[in-house]
Structure 1
Amino acid sequence: MSPGDGRPVVSFGEPEGYDGAGRGRPLAGRVRPRTAVIALCLVLGLGLISGAVTGSWLTGETTAPKDAGTYAAAGALWHSVPVDELFPATVRGRGAGPGGADRTWTRIGVAPDSGCADAFDPLLRATLAPAGCRRLLRATYTDATQSFVTTVGLLFTKADAATMGALARRFKDEGLADRTDLMPRPYAAKGTAAAGFGDRQRASWTVSVLTDAPVVVYAVSGWADGRTVDTPQSAEQAIQSGTTTAPSQAGLGNEAQGLADRVGRSLRETVESPTEKPS
């Protein structure tokens, strides 16, 4: 997401209360500039708040009140929304690649909806256990050049908003999303470029605990040629400027982060306007 999108742009001309030479007028005329400054601060403050709330779905840092109806609706999407809406056949990521390059991902396999027993490394499964596992949906994509493969997943939990908030804070405070012993596992779709995409092929990953929905969004990426990776790196670390690791140089952090962001954004848009789709 892009916190701050749609933020009001406010422009003020020369304040009333000053003459053409910039000389001050009597006190009554100087009150208006002060009012204008206060108004500007208020508008900018509201813009910042709006941007923070917009970004809460993937950062888990919202302080806005939870809407119980929206939260419940999000938790039911796994059986009420077609897979093509949750995992579109083609996902476009404008500016999602290294250096702001555009990306396009094509879906090459959808896993049967399932439980969570084999989807995560054991320690990650134990870490997510307090939220419960209602349903897990996964799909695997390849990039336009078929050089990379990425599995993106939506874990629908049984947790209430307070539990999801506590889990999101733990991930942030303890840096859990960067630990190599807390990685999601890929879905190796048979007969596709991802057929050999196993645990040893994982190069980069991201895990985002949402707070406005009982959902954990994650993605894990690797090379399509099946090469093994000795030192995987989290997407957040891999996309940092100046990083020289193999996953970073190949843009695999961007693959995982970009696809997870866009699938998460699509989920958010679906739950916000479930009844506004054209007939």
Structure 2
Amino acid sequence: MSTEADFADAHRLPRTPPPQAPAPPAEDPRTAVLRPVPPERPAKPGPGPMPAGPAAAAGGPPPENIPPRPTHAPATPPADKPSVPPQTVTDRSAAPRDTAAFHLANSGALWNGDPKRSGTGRTEDEAAPDDLPPPTGRPLTGPLVPPPPATPPYTPPAPAPHRSVRRTALAAAGLVLGVGLVAGAAAGSWLAGDANGSPAAEAVFAHGRETWHSAPVDTLFPPTLNGLGTGPGGADRTWIRIAVAPDSGCAGAFDPLLTKALAPVGCNRLVRATYVDATRTSVITVGAVSTKADRTGMQDLRRRFAKEHLDTRTDLMPRPYAAKGTPAAGFGPAQRASWSIRVLDDLPVVVYGVSGFADGRTVDDPQPAAEATRTGATTAPAEAGLGHDAKAVTDRIEQTFRKQAAKGTTEPQ
């Protein structure tokens, strides 16, 4: 430890010349971030007698800028860095203190003695991350997240080959079926007759004029008629034949106005029969008039009935056949409740049916079958099902005459 005696003759020391700034060292990239170290002052002579300087001889005051005495030897810089000139530091305590940033940046090189480390904490062989080329060859301006793959446009799958084959087969089957239906319709029109006067139609029409006596009576008027779903609300109906009238002319069979309406086609023969339903509550007379008209005359009469609604007029009703000793014995003109008239244009035949109550009660407001069978009808004939009886029985007899007329043209003569 120094004492005041060591500096007793300090006023006799010569004035120290100002330090000269050393030449700036060559720029080293490893120490570019560090602050330059100030130059070292020359070492002070040890304690002992010192020569007196001019200031002491003149009796002037002692110098005020005297540096403190060094206490340790300066550190020696690494020897493997020839580019940096060695600096002699005799008194580090006299030099300016290092900053925290300096120690943080150079702690590894200063304390570990690694000459290959620079002030940035990397070796000379290492490169900074920013010096590496981008992986994709483009500048890193956005986030290092690969963009999502582009979604390819949707392409509908091609139809399976078997579907095309199936569709082709269905189309071919439909074509064959269509051709078959057309051919069947043409054949049916030729066999059953059409409006063009084909030979088959003329043959059926001619044979229909003779059906009334060529077919057995039980064929034209079966002993029992079954009507599935023909009653009110779709109920099944059954009718039993109770009387068959001998074939005759048309005199007295119709009201005068209906006789006048049928006069243009003439009356060749009339056949009739009377039925009673299974419950014996209603009676029905059905008949067929074989006319003398040709095909054109029957077509004209049919158009007139449709145009003038002659089949719905109460003064143009057919009369019943009241057979004695049967449930229809009291079935007269006053008991008629509902009726139906059909003028056929493919056969020289007029078919009709008329119904009434089996107990012989009179009906003041008879109603055509077309109106008595409508949904919601509340008249007595409608609620009793007499309109359904007249319509259904007439339908059965009409079908029988058509079938027998067509059948006669195919039987050997």
Asked if these proteins are the same fold (TM beyond 0.5), I'd say: yes
Work out whether residues 209 and 349 of structure 2, in 8 Å CA contact, stay in contact via their aligned partners in 1: yes
Aligned residue in 2 for 1:224? 358
Aligned residue in 2 for 1:14? none
**Local SS of the residue matching 1:150:** strand
Aligned residue in 2 for 1:105? 239
- Structure 1 residue 81: Cα displacement: 1.3
RMSD: 3.0
**Local SS of the residue matching 2:408:** coil
Distance 1:69 1:193, change over 3 A: same
- Aligned pair 1:238/2:396, yes or no? no
Aligned residue in 2 for 1:13? none
Aligned residue in 2 for 1:161? 295
Give deviations 1:96-115, integer Å, cap 9, x for gaps.
11111111111000111111
**Local SS of the residue matching 1:230:** coil
- Distance in 2 between residues matched to 1:33 and 1:78, nearest whole Å: 49
Aligned residue in 2 for 1:147? 281
Work out whether residues 204 and 409 of structure 2, in 8 Å CA contact, stay in contact via their aligned partners in 1: no
Aligned residue in 1 for 2:322? 188
- Aligned pair 1:268/2:402, yes or no? yes
Give deviations 1:60-100, integer Å, cap 9, x for gaps.
xx756461111010100122111111111111111211111
Aligned residue in 1 for 2:205? 71
**Local SS of the residue matching 1:266:** helix
- Structure 1 residue 167: Cα displacement: 0.4
- The one-letter amino acid of 1:124's match is L
Give deviations 1:224-272, integer Å, cap 9, x for gaps.
0000000000001110111111101111010000000001101111122
User: Structure with the greater relative contact order (CA < 8 A, sep ≥ 6): 1 or 2?
Assistant: 1
**Local SS of the residue matching 2:325:** coil
Normalized per residue, the structure richer in helix is: 1
- The one-letter amino acid of 2:305's match is F
- How many residues end up aligned between the 2 structures? 250
Work out whether residues 320 and 333 of structure 2, in 8 Å CA contact, stay in contact via their aligned partners in 1: yes
Q: Give the share of equivalent positions with the same residue, in percent.
A: 54
Normalized per residue, the structure richer in strand is: 1
**Local SS of the residue matching 1:220:** strand
- The one-letter amino acid of 1:84's match is D
Rg (Cα) greater in structure: 2
Aligned residue in 2 for 1:8? none
- The one-letter amino acid of 2:209's match is G
- Structure 1 residue 274: Cα displacement: 3.0
**Local SS of the residue matching 1:140:** strand
